């Protein structure tokens, strides 16, 4: 796909952003969105090579990020619009892939079988009856017990843990990095790790070292505290603050919840 040229010069775009920041004119906002659609196309082409979602769908999702970027951009700070907009555009696409688009290609018949099984068992529960055994359930659904087990395994594989979910056991020995990026199969996991690495790279050098050592390399806090000449409690508080900040950045508002003004 050949990129479309921007009809506005950089100086004109800068003036338009300054005008919109003061007037909040909807028509001017729409012109700015149209002027920056190349940013969405570039990100959509890049993401389309890493997942099984089509370019057109990614482009539509990215446009929501572009709209939010145009509305939130402050030209008085002296930053380039693309520097501000690209993370929002790619973030909208990644959050959609993470939360709404199924990264695993699977049999719809098995998913339908699992839905029928749950519906049948729920009906019996409402009627005050005991749940059916696997043999009786397979007979009612017209399938083998092996097929029923395959449907359950698929259903379990498709369950994804939210990045917003808090750990049920504070003393768990689970790797801390798994609290920031859940273990989902397929290309989506790479997108999540890429996003996490980008967020970590934006931290101060000392904070980067702490996050990478504890959350990615699995080093103990006590060992790192000795290396940095910090008390374990102080390092733990600092790490917790960084972890909370990264979790919030990785859990932005989902694109389908964005409100168009």
Q: Would you write out the chain's pLDDT as a tens digit for each of its 261 residues?
A: 444 556 788 899 999 999 999 999 999 999 999 999 999 999 999 988 877 788 999 999 999 999 999 999 999 988 899 999 999 999 899 888 876 655 555 666 787 888 888 888 888 888 888 888 888 888 988 899 888 888 887 777 666 544 444 444 444 444 444 444 444 444 555 566 677 777 888 888 888 888 888 877 777 888 888 888 888 888 888 888 888 887 777 644 333 233 333
Sign of CA dihedral 56, 62, 64, 67: negative
Q: Are residues 30 and 49 in the same domain?
A: yes
Q: Are residues 46 and 69 in the same domain?
A: yes
Q: Are residues 71 and 146 in the same domain?
A: no
Q: Is residue 215 part of a domain?
A: yes
Q: Is residue 165 part of a domain?
A: no
pLDDT attached to residue 61 = 94
Helix axes 108-126, 134-141, angle to 10 degrees: 120
Q: Are residues 140 and 77 in the same domain?
A: no
pLDDT attached to residue 100 = 63
Per-residue b or e along 130-150, where b marks 16 or more CB atoms closer than 10 Å to that residue's CB: eebeeeebbeebebeeeebeb
The number of folded domains in the chain is 3
Length in residues, the chain: 261
Q: Are residues 116 and 76 in the same domain?
A: no
pLDDT attached to residue 122 = 83
Q: Is residue 88 part of a domain?
A: yes
pLDDT attached to residue 178 = 45
Q: Are residues 212 and 241 in the same domain?
A: yes
pLDDT attached to residue 152 = 83
User: Which of 58, 80, 101 is the last residue before a domain boundary?
Assistant: 101
* Total Cβ atoms within 10 A of residue 173: 5
Q: Is residue 37 part of a domain?
A: yes
Q: Is residue 32 part of a domain?
A: yes
Q: Are residues 124 and 140 in the same domain?
A: yes
pLDDT attached to residue 257 = 33
Q: Is residue 1 part of a domain?
A: no
Provide the CATH number for the domain around residue 203: 1.10.10
Provide the CATH number for the domain around residue 89: 1.20.120.1810
Q: Is residue 2 part of a domain?
A: no
Q: Are residues 189 and 242 in the same domain?
A: yes
Contacts of residue 78, defined as CB under 8 A and 6 or more positions apart, other chains included, come to none
What is the domain extent for residue 119?
Answer: 108-157
Q: Is residue 123 part of a domain?
A: yes
Sign of CA dihedral 148, 153, 158, 159: positive
């Amino acid at each position: 796909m050949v990129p479309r040229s921007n009809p506005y010069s950089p100086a004109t775009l800068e003036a338009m952003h300054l005008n919109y920041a003061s007037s909040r004119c909807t028509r001017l906002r729409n012109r700015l969105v149209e002027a920056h659609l190349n940013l969405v196309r570039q990100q959509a082409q890049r993401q389309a090579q890493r997942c099984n979602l089509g370019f057109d769908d990614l482009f539509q999702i990215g446009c929501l990020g572009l709209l939010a970027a145009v509305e939130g951009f402050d030209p008085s700070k002296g930053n380039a619009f693309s520097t501000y907009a690209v993370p929002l555009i790619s973030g909208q696409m990644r959050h959609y892939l993470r939360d709404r688009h199924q990264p695993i290609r699977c049999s719809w018949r098995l998913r339908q079988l699992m839905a029928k099984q749950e519906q049948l068992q729920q009906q019996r529960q409402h009627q005050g009856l005991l749940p059916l055994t696997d043999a009786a359930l397979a007979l009612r659904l017209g399938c083998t017990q092996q097929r029923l087990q395959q449907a359950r395994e698929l259903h379990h594989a498709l369950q994804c843990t939210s990045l917003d979910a808090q750990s049920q056991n504070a003393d768990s020995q689970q790797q801390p990095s798994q609290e920031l990026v859940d273990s989902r199969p397929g290309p989506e996991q790479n997108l999540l790790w890429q996003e996490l690495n980008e967020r970590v790279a934006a931290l101060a050098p000392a904070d980067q070292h702490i996050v990478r050592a504890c959350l990615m390399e699995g080093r103990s806090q006590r060992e790192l505290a000795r290396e940095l000449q910090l008390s374990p409690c102080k390092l733990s508080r600092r790490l917790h603050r960084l972890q909370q900040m990264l979790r919030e950045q990785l859990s932005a508002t989902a694109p389908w919840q964005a409100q168009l003004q």
